[in-house]
A and B are shown apart, each in its own frame.
Chain A
């Protein structure tokens, strides 16, 4: 099956006071139809900017290069008008915090139907009927009544379900979910993830889950891509990346996760902090924090190399290779 989204050499420059700085640097990946693809990394690693570049919602004065071919058309070279016809229609977005991403003053019905009516040309009652179905799909109790309610009348988990319903309204083929569970209680996170998983099975929807939480990744994703300093560190099937990480950064992230039987001693934070925009070091961006760094890591920019079936790691010294 051909990829639904093929991102090639995506680079994003953001305008800063010190001139344009690379927020995303030469990133390539693909997403297949019906798959859940995880984009992982700490804040500032370029995950969100990658998603915003795909939607054409980068801040003013940002520039991009590379290609992002969605369904045969390059998103990066589209006009604003063409992009608007794709956004919300074929590619939808769910953002982190539903208490800020849903409009506080508009009814659920308005927020669910306005883009349906715009993109699909539905009439008021048709859109209303479809909105009721959508709310039922995301398991909102009493959908009819929910339509005339406002977001403030729902709990955080319910709001995120509504936000997902809003994203699904026009039956998009790709959903970009930016930290979809981060702002929610742990108890409702699993419900949202199960919902995403069910939707992709039922609606042949591809989902890109952007998160810093590898726990979320391990729950639902098929493939994972780990970003660091705007660059790809490691890409591969979920089991391979999480069970046999080959990039020291992935290893570090996994070691920083609490284990049920490990106790406090098992928690090992990655030393240092990720580089801020415009301060990404030469060579491998991770070398200042890496326990395995060689002199060459300081000067040579590592290219991703194949380390397994469909598994690449941008760490040519491959210090973890023997551990596999």
Chain B
């Protein structure tokens, strides 16, 4: 198990380095000279000023050295300075990233609970009416465009019936809890501010519901297909031949192997929730990574864009690592070989 763990973590670390390299090369490929962009018309005419600028920022050094400098900075948590906010990109991200991760976590947990439960139900009632109804539900989930679901949900649940708060992370006038994790629900609970905690949780419901619609539909389909495949196995018949209650057969003998496929899908879905939440974050005024990335892209704020890509890629890698480790927990054969 330890070797398995070490191997996976080593591979993940290598991948992270690879990502910084790719994002560095991409910025080199972008047309435009940083000196020209930053120095202005008059200074650019003066070779001494240009040289001074280049040597100040290390741009006169060979590319590999520049990359190593950049890598060293990234490792020390220095992602450069945003050209719009004039703050450190790392500081910006520390504010926006937890908001998005909190939302995506809420959405993925909700999707897993509902999607897996419905998928299992569909599989065990195969071709009977619950399965037929659930097939329509999952088809609906994956076919409805998220922005449309967001607008409808916003209109109905907030505007029309006022069941849930409409936007932002907290009720207006409420102060953010002291920063520990950046997750308002957790931070508020840690600080014992229960009113803030419940407000943060309530604000999460609507956007994460909207985000979950698609993932629920997808997870239902995968769960059902995977369960049906496992149900045809000899070992399921063997479990039934032991006279075990059907509930035990389904949960222990069928759902567990089916989870391998389910967590694969869930891992990918979590990644796309992180990077694909731009629309939902805009509609629900959620101050997250999606909004930050959108603004940076529109303003060609290169350090911010690089920062966002490194963070998103790192989150993907961590998710993959987590999924890999979960495989090992679920299926001993993976851990043992």
Q: Give the interface of A toward B (CB within 8 A).
A: 55, 57, 83-89, 92-93, 95, 97, 100-107, 110, 114-115, 118-119, 150, 152-153, 163, 166
Contact = CB atoms under 8 A, between A and B. Distances in A.
A89 B242 CA distance: 7
Given A87-B243, A114-B248, A150-B332, A95 B256 contact: no
Contacts of B234: 95, 97, 100-101
Interface of B: 233-235, 237-245, 248, 252-253, 256-257, 330-333, 336
Contact of A95 (B238, B257, B332, B333): B238
Contacts of B243: 83-89, 115, 118-119
Contacts of A86: 243
B235 A104 contact: yes
B336 A115 contact: no
9 contacts: A57-B240, A87-B242, A87-B243, A88-B242, A92-B241, A93-B241, A101-B234, A101-B238, A152-B336
B330 A105 contact: yes
A150 B239 CA distance: 16
Given A84-B243, A88-B244, A115-B244, A102 B238 contact: yes
Contacts of A84: 243-245
B255 to A, nearest CB: 11
A55 B241 contact: yes
A83 B246 CA distance: 12
Nearest to A102: B235
Contacts of B244: 84, 88, 114-115, 118
Contacts of A95: 234, 237-238, 241
A245 to B, nearest CB: 33
Contacts of B242: 87-88, 92, 114-115, 118, 166
Given A84-B245, A101-B234, A101-B235, A152 B240 contact: no
A97 B238 CA distance: 11
A103 B253 contact: yes
B238 A87 contact: no
A87 B240 contact: yes
The 3 A-B residue pairs whose C-beta atoms are closest, nearest first, are A88-B243, A88-B242, A87-B243
A115 B238 CA distance: 11
A152 B235 contact: no
A105 B240 contact: no
Contacts of B245: 84, 118
Contacts of B235: 100-104
A182 to B, nearest CB: 13
Nearest to B254: A103
Contacts of A97: 234
A101 B241 CA distance: 11
A57 B241 contact: yes
B326 to A, nearest CB: 13
A104 B333 contact: yes
Nearest to B235: A103
B187 to A, nearest CB: 38
Contact of B257 (A57, A104, A107, A115): A104
Contact of B333 (A55, A93, A150, A166): A150
A12 B242 CA distance: 22
A57 B248 contact: no
A258 B242 CA distance: 37
Contacts of B256: 105-106
A88 B331 CA distance: 25
Contacts of B330: 105
A85 B244 CA distance: 8
A152 B332 CA distance: 9
Contacts of A93: 238, 241
A112 to B, nearest CB: 10
A177 B239 CA distance: 15
A106 B333 CA distance: 10
Contacts of A166: 238, 242
Instruction: Kindly name the residue among A84, A86, A101, A103 whose own CB sees the greatest number of chain B CB atoms within 10 A.
Output: A103
Contacts of B332: 104-105, 107, 150, 152
A165 to B, nearest CB: 12
B235 to A, nearest CB: 4
Given A88-B242, A88-B243, A105-B331, A153 B336 contact: yes
A86 B332 CA distance: 31
Nearest to B331: A105
A103 B255 CA distance: 12
Nearest to B253: A103
Given A86-B243, A152-B333, 19 more contacts: A84-B245, A85-B243, A87-B240, A87-B242, A100-B233, A102-B235, A103-B253, A105-B257, A105-B331, A106-B253, A110-B252, A114-B242, A114-B244, A114-B252, A118-B244, A118-B245, A119-B243, A150-B332, A152-B336
Contacts of B252: 106, 110, 114
A95 B253 CA distance: 17
A118 B238 CA distance: 15
Contact of B237 (A57, A83, A85): A57
Nearest to B126: A60
A10 B238 CA distance: 23
B238 A104 contact: no
Contacts of A55: 241
